[in-house]
Amino acid sequence: MWLWLRLWGFKKKKDMRIISIDEFGKDHWSLLGYIETCCVDGGGKVNHNRMRTNENRNPSVGSGQSWKDEYSTRLKSFPWGSKDEKEKAKHRVAGHDDWDCLEDLEQAGFANLISYVNGFVHITSMGLTITAELRAHKANGGSFFNFTPKVK
């Protein structure tokens, strides 16, 4: 895919570390749920304006919203009840946005990014299995932040 983006004048963003499934928190699981919805109801196209986009890393798909470090991806260990910003920062991946989360979901085998520029995505059969668990978890009163998949 990056070959086509380079041909269109886009530069590859600096690599971000891949987050493991065991570290996935609210941002990863809510994005997977959103991707499923987009694939079922929206023809497999995400709305760029609904994605947390770090425009320093992803200038070609920016939503026009200025990036702040507090928007960075929250890991499973994120202390939701804490008011201590320094403690919260320890459980975020600085600069990591929804496009990075999508790369993590792709690495985990849950989704595929078909077109970065156009926002086309595909959910895999494993992704459908996980989102079925996620929906059941949410239907039983759970939240994205405390979801742990049974299937990995």
φ, ψ (nearest 5 deg) of residue 92: -115, 155
Mind listing the pLDDT tens digit of every residue in the chain (152 residues)? Answer: 444 443 344 444 567 789 999 999 999 999 999 999 999 998 999 998 899 999 888 776 666 678 888 999 999 999 999 999 999 999 999 999 999 999 999 999 999 999 888 889 999 999 999 999 999 999 999 999 999 999 76
pTM: 0.87
Q: Looking at the domain assignment, is residue 12 inside a domain?
A: no
The answer as to whether 4 is a domain residue is no
Residue 119 covered by a domain: yes
Residue 72 sits in which domain range?
A: 19-146
CA distance 150 to 7: 41
Number of domains composing the chain:
1
pLDDT of residue 63: 62
Burial 65-75 (b: 16+ CB within 10 A, else e): eebeeebbbbb
User: Is residue 5 a part of any domain in this protein?
Assistant: no
Quote the Cα angle for 88-116-13, to 5°. Answer: 60
Domain assignment present for residue 131? The answer is: yes
